[in-house]
């Protein structure tokens, strides 16, 4: 690789001038600046960005903390973060935490030690365990639930859950089960609130035996299906807190000879690409994954630029997606 | 955040000594070193890693070039790269290229400008278009096809494709269609070679009308299903070059009233988590995604360490996964 000496020689200026052209171009005459830049092109010189970044105290990298990036919902969010970051010269450092706070702490050190400028957190905020907010770390939460105590972008999980359960009720269902994510997950908590609100407003009594606690994986949805299949009083419809668990439950029902949606209706949450290709295709809630990633990155850039966002919480709209997994209650 | 001045004061040594303790500890007395390290703990000082990295000319970051981050096969590989990197203090910079060579070039600049130490390339090598190998960029290809001209880890796509087509032949099928990925993709090329070899060895004539060129997405698999459904002479079995396209084709067949596997058998490739949850569950080839990611990162670490790997190409074993999407030919 060519070096700064060659650039100086080719441009006919001193090495100090070349250096200044990169670090402090305002202090270099227009004429010299042009000579340096031409020479840079000619010799194919690339300044040492890390050195440049050190001087500017910016690394132009952002850490994305993600609990599980084999989850297609998160990959959509991360992709949008990357697209937005690229437009502003920022790169993404991947921080898969697998829900380990120890590992999260290690990634946050990347900011403390200035290898990254800020953090986007994709896990919802759980107060008693949380490392963020942190006085020295610029952070934005994407995919938050209620009560994130720093800048966050989220959708309204309570009203989304409520709307899809209301849809099941409008189709005549009253024995509506719920496949939950882990109970201590704030998204599960918010969605359960929406589920309960919908039941209550329809005068349907909450029934604990219809709640199955999964962990957002297809395998746990399959377990849920097995659970409901052996109940004497089976639900006629199921609100699943994500698409993966709905897909798992459908698989289990087929194994038990229970037809979806003829014998039991089910809804998902997320609208993964697969939701169109399951049999039946899933009626679900589309989370605005791309918009969440984009907005979160925009907010972080604004914060890194020294400007405080106008509000702490940004709520984006979800969408109700009607497909084939629900039929009216037939009694 | 505390600074080096506070550390020096607390340790009772000069700032230069503190600095030397980080950059050149061999030049500092054991006694002073201990004082400095104790002071670092007491005041909670974190050295500027970027500055340290600059001095050591290492960034401790590796760029992963991935064509499509929302593909679950790649996320498995990336996860393994990250796990292996973390153990050696390396972080992952995400470089989603979406098959744009311009964007790939931008990511490679991160290495040229020393913001990253090396690259792991997840796209297969296409000679006439390729930016790698590059004289100044340490790189390893994971997920390669044949003919990668630098260090690569891959599975044998020819023999994997051949083995699954052989299985279809052993089940009595002779009219075996193939849903291909893009024709210029080296994985498609290798798998097509395997498909043709299996047919040839069984004395089955290659039939161009049974090949449908998709692009590895579920949507293109659905198009393939529509194509086969309208053929007068339908295939009795299909070799799909990945699971996603098989899932799309199954969806289409159901819409056309064609039963899988009773009317038509189908096989996948990759063994995504979803392959178990489709209806029917997919008989497929399991790519060793985790092993490929792990091995690629180990090789890159070795190269960054100045050691040349013993061989240029490492071929990992695939696995045949038997599920429910194939039935014997009934004539």
Q: What is the average per-residue pLDDT within B8-26?
A: 78
pTM of the complete model? 0.81
| pLDDT at site A256 | 97
Query: Positive or negative CA dihedral for B290, B292, B294, B297?
Result: negative
The answer to whether the Cβ–Cβ distance between A92 and B93 falls below 8 Å is yes
Return the structure tokens found at B314.
């490492």
Residues 158-217 of A with CB under 8 A from B: none
Q: Is residue B76 within 8 angstroms of chain A, CB to CB?
A: yes
Per-residue tens of pLDDT for chain A, all 331 residues:
467 788 888 888 888 887 777 666 667 787 887 888 778 777 766 655 555 444 456 889 999 999 888 888 999 999 999 999 999 999 999 999 988 888 899 899 888 888 899 999 998 888 777 888 888 899 999 988 778 899 999 999 999 999 999 999 999 999 999 999 999 899 999 999 999 999 999 999 999 999 999 999 999 999 999 999 999 999 999 999 999 999 999 999 999 999 999 999 999 999 998 999 999 999 999 999 999 999 999 999 999 999 989 899 999 999 999 999 999 999 7
Return the structure tokens found at A248.
């798992």
Contacts of A48 in chain B (CB under 8 A): 54, 113-114
pLDDT at B1 over 50: no
**pLDDT tens-digit map of B76-131:** 999 999 999 999 999 999 999 988 888 899 899 888 888 899 999 998 888 777 88
Q: Which long-range contacts (CB under 8 A, 24 or more apart) does B34-43 make?
A: B35/B11, B36/B7, B36/B11, B38/B11, B39/B6, B39/B7, B39/B8, B39/B10, B39/B11, B40/B7, B42/B10, B43/B2, B43/B6, B43/B7, B43/B10
Query: By CA distance, what is A247's nearest residue in B?
Result: B277
| Winning range, highest mean pLDDT, from A14-18, B134-138, B266-270 | B266-270
Contacts of A66 in chain B (CB under 8 A): none
| pLDDT at site B290 | 95
| pLDDT at site B255 | 96
Residue B140's DSSP bridge partners are B120
Query: By CA distance, what is B272's nearest residue in A?
Result: A70
Q: The complex's ipTM? A: 0.79
The answer to whether the Cβ–Cβ distance between B48 and A218 falls below 8 Å is no
Query: By CA distance, what is A48's nearest residue in B?
Result: B113
Model confidence band, residue B33 (pLDDT cutoffs 50, 70, 90): confident
Domains and CATH numbers, chain A: 4-47 (1.10.260.40), 56-155+288-317 (3.40.50.2300), 157-287 (3.40.50.2300)
Q: Chain centroid to CA B214: how far?
A: 20
Collapsing DSSP states into helix, strand and coil, what is residue B3? coil
The answer to whether the Cβ–Cβ distance between A248 and B277 falls below 8 Å is yes
| pLDDT at site A62 | 96
Contacts of A113 in chain B (CB under 8 A): 46-50
Mutation target vs A (from B89, B277, B290; most A CBs, 10 A cutoff): B277
Indicate the residue of B48, B94, B112 with minimum beta-carbon distance to A92.
B94
| pLDDT at site B35 | 84
The answer to whether the Cβ–Cβ distance between B96 and A79 falls below 8 Å is yes
Indicate the residue of B1, B110, B273 with minimum beta-carbon distance to A136.
B1
| pLDDT at site A23 | 63
Return the structure tokens found at A159.
């009203």
Compute the nearest-CA separation of A181 from chain B (Å): 19
Mutation target vs B (from A277, A278, A281, A289; most B CBs, 10 A cutoff): A277
| pLDDT at site A54 | 46
Compute the nearest-CA separation of B302 from chain A (Å): 22
**pLDDT tens-digit map of B220-254:** 999 999 999 999 999 999 999 999 999 999 999 99
pLDDT at B266 over 50: yes
């Amino acid at each position: 690789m060519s070096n700064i000496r060659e650039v100086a020689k080719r441009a006919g200026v001193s090495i100090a001038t070349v250096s200044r052209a990169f670090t402090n171009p305002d202090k270099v005459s227009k004429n010299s600046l042009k000579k340096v830049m031409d020479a840079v092109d000619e010799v194919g010189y690339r300044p040492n960005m890390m050195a440049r970044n050190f001087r500017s105290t910016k690394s132009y990298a952002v850490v994305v903390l993600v609990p599980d990036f084999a989850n297609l919902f998160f990959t959509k969010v991360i992709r949008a973060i990357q697209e937005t970051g690229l437009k502003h010269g920022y790169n993404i450092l991947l921080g898969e935490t697998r829900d380990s706070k120890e590992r999260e702490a290690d990634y946050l050190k990347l900011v403390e030690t200035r290898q990254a400028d800020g953090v986007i957190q994709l896990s919802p905020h759980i107060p008693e365990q949380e490392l963020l907010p942190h006085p020295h770390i610029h952070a934005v939460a994407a995919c938050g639930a209620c009560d994130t105590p720093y800048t966050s972008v989220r959708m309204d999980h309570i009203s989304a859950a409520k709307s899809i359960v209301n849809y099941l009720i409008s189709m005549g269902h009253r024995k509506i089960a719920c496949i939950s994510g882990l109970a201590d997950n704030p998204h599960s908590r918010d969605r359960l609130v929406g589920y309960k609100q919908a039941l209550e407003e329809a005068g349907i009594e909450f029934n604990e035996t219809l709640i199955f606690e999964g962990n957002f994986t297809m395998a746990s949805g399959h377990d849920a299906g097995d659970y409901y299949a052996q109940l004497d009083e089976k639900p006629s419809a199921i609100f699943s807190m994500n698409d993966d668990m709905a897909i798992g439950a459908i698989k289990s029902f087929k194994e038990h000879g229970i037809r979806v949606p003829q014998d039991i209706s089910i809804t998902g949450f997320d609208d993964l690409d697969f939701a169109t290709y399951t049999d039946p295709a899933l009626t679900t809630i589309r989370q605005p994954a791309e918009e969440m990633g984009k907005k979160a990155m925009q907010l972080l850039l604004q914060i890194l630029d020294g400007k405080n966002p106008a509000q702490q919480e940004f709520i984006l709209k979800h969408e109700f997606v009607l497909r084939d997994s629900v039929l009216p209650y037939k009694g």
